[in-house]
Amino acid sequence: MKSQSRCLFRLTKPAESPRIAVTFRHPETQPTRTIAGAQEFQLLSNNRIRPFEEIPGPSGIYQLPYVGLILQMKPFTNHTKDDMQQRVQSWTRKYGPICKQRLGHDWYVFLTDPGDFEKVFRNDRKYPFRGILPLIKVYTMRTQTKPGLTALNDEEWLTLRKTAQKAILRQKSINKYLPVISEIADEFVEKFRGEDRINDVLQHLLEFSTEGVGKVCFGVRLGCISKPDQTVKTETMQHVETFLDCFGNQFYVMPWYKLFRSPFYRKYAKSADYLKRQTGEYVTKHKERLQSVSNTGSDPSLLGDMISNPNLTIDDIQRTLLDVLAGGIDSTASTMTTLLFNLAKNTDKQDRLFEELEKHVSTVGLLDETTLCSLPYLKACIKESFRLVFPVPVGTARSLDKDITLKGFRIPAYTNIVFCSGITCQNSKYFEEPEQFIPERWIRDDEKYSPTHAFAHIPFGHGPRKCIGQRFAETEICICTSKLLRNFRLTLPEETRNIIYRDKTFRTPVSSVSFIIHQR
């Protein structure tokens, strides 16, 4: 690394002279805005490209692998491993729209300007690359297995992606699951018929999302929908929670698991082994059913679609379904909890949504493709809720195979680049009144709100590597929300004002959220 004693440039224009003056100041004595000023000088002068080492960010001991990040957490600061987005936001506030920090052993560059997001995406590799995280790398090496679709790269990723997305990413493929998802949503709504309150809604929604994923992935009902005064936490749900907890916390533990099977590694491996084994059992049972009886008339499932594809091996199918299972349960339940909270908090928005639902959605029965296409305000509410509370901590990432220049700094090839979409979505430069829940900003014919940058809001990523479960997640959220709010009006108890979130693999509510139910 270059010495931190270098001088920064600040551009000023003295009143007594039309000439531009340059002031030299030491970075350690310079306030936050001076660093931004230095970047502005680089952009204006454009006379040299600055090296990677000069990208601002925590310095000194904070640049050490693993230890540097740990020292920025409690008890040394007020931050914890559960508020990664706040930690990154503090960096971007201090250092500007581009900064760097070490996570684990590797360097990461954090961006908040959607123009830079776009530039990186436009320069993406032939096979968009996301680095394999160390915990997955160690696990797959020890178990002699291949990672799932989310951790694959290069041509192997493209081959599996092209085949798998035909079964799950295309809306036409998802439409055949509408009767199944509608049936589960009706059962979920009926659970609260005659009740006056839903307590700990996240746990109830985890039941719905688990039941939906089980039916869509494997064509079986898991029996997760419980009574209104109860919640069920199946073994699958418990292992998914542990799996995601370990996955999200791998940067905050010393990597002893690389040397031996540490308690942290054993905890992760136990859950990963269980989910892999369970997925394998469903694949085996499905193959047995195909061999014993005709499959004509059976319920649709991703497993059925994929197993009939000669281009997919059993291993391909198993690890793809494991990704959908692990990613689809927690993320759907958490984002739906946030959406319902925003609508219960902003009852005027909920009332406008009900007017739309009353015209197109029946209290019970199938929500078909035509109906879902007739709900623009619902989709605007979902999009706004994603903006207000971004579904993943910070945002997605890329690693290019060539150098790129951003904000006047040279980013070397193979550097991890993070799009801080969750922070961008809270910036008034791109969204008016960013702290408010305003679905109208996504209605095309609403002229009050000016268009925002196309890359300022990308909750599912962008391009060929965007979330493969996007269509499935959006469909589940649309149907369940429609059913709930068509039957009930939700308001918040007096004691509920805000939700506290925990940043793990997904942003998950920590505080228990409850609703008062008013029967329609």
Q: Are strands 8-12 and 397-399 parallel, antiparallel or unpaired?
A: unpaired
Residue from 335, 218, 333 nearest 275 by CA: 218
pLDDT in tens, 299-330: 788 888 888 888 888 888 888 888 888 888 88
Cβ pair 472, 328 in contact under 8 A: yes
| 3 state DSSP class of 501 | strand
pLDDT of residue 484 exceeding 90, the answer is yes
Tokens of 185: 């949503």
Beta strand 197-198 pairing with 397-399:
unpaired
What is the reported pLDDT for 46? 53
Of 2-11, 382-391, 423-432, least confident by mean pLDDT is: 2-11
Q: Do 130 and 151 contact (CB within 8 A), yes or no?
A: yes
Helix (H, G, I), strand (E, B) or coil at 397: strand
Q: For 177-188, what is the mean pLDDT?
A: 94
Domains and CATH numbers, the chain: 135-519 (1.10.630.10)
| pLDDT score recorded for residue 254 | 86
Q: What is the mean pLDDT of residues 465-481?
A: 92
CB within 8 A of 338, min separation 6: which ones?
Answer: 385, 388, 389, 499, 509
pLDDT tens for 66-100 read 899 889 988 898 888 888 888 899 999 999 999 99
Task: Return the DSSP state at 476.
Answer: H
E strand intervals along 92-159: 98-103, 106-111
What pLDDT band is residue 34 in, cutting at 50, 70 and 90? very low
Q: Return d(Cα 34, Cα 96) in angstroms, integer.
A: 10
Nearest alpha-carbon partner for 425 in 462, 401, 453? 453
Q: What is the mean pLDDT of the chain?
A: 85
What value, to the nearest 5°, has the Cα angle with vertex 370 and ends 365 and 374? 100
How far is the C-alpha of 420 from the C-alpha of 57, rounded, in Å? 15
Strands 501-503 and 507-509: antiparallel
Residue 350, helix vs strand vs coil: helix
pLDDT at 147 over 70: yes
pLDDT-wise least confident of 25-39, 112-126, 373-387: 25-39
Looking at 2-6, 146-150, 157-161, 438-442, which range is the least confident one?
A: 2-6
75 preceded by cis ω (within 30°)?
yes
Distance (Å, whole) CA 39 – CA 98: 9
**pLDDT tens-digit series, residues 183-226:** 999 999 999 998 999 999 999 999 999 999 999 899 888 888 87
Do 479 and 178 form a contact (C-beta atoms < 8 A)?
Answer: yes
Residue 233 has a pLDDT of 79
3 state SS of 175: helix
Q: For position 287, what pLDDT does the model report?
A: 81
Query: Has residue 472 got a pLDDT over 60?
Result: yes
Which ranges of 346-420 would DSSP assign to H, the alpha helix? 347-360, 369-372, 376-388
Distance CA 167, CA 301 (A): 9
Strand partners, 419: 111
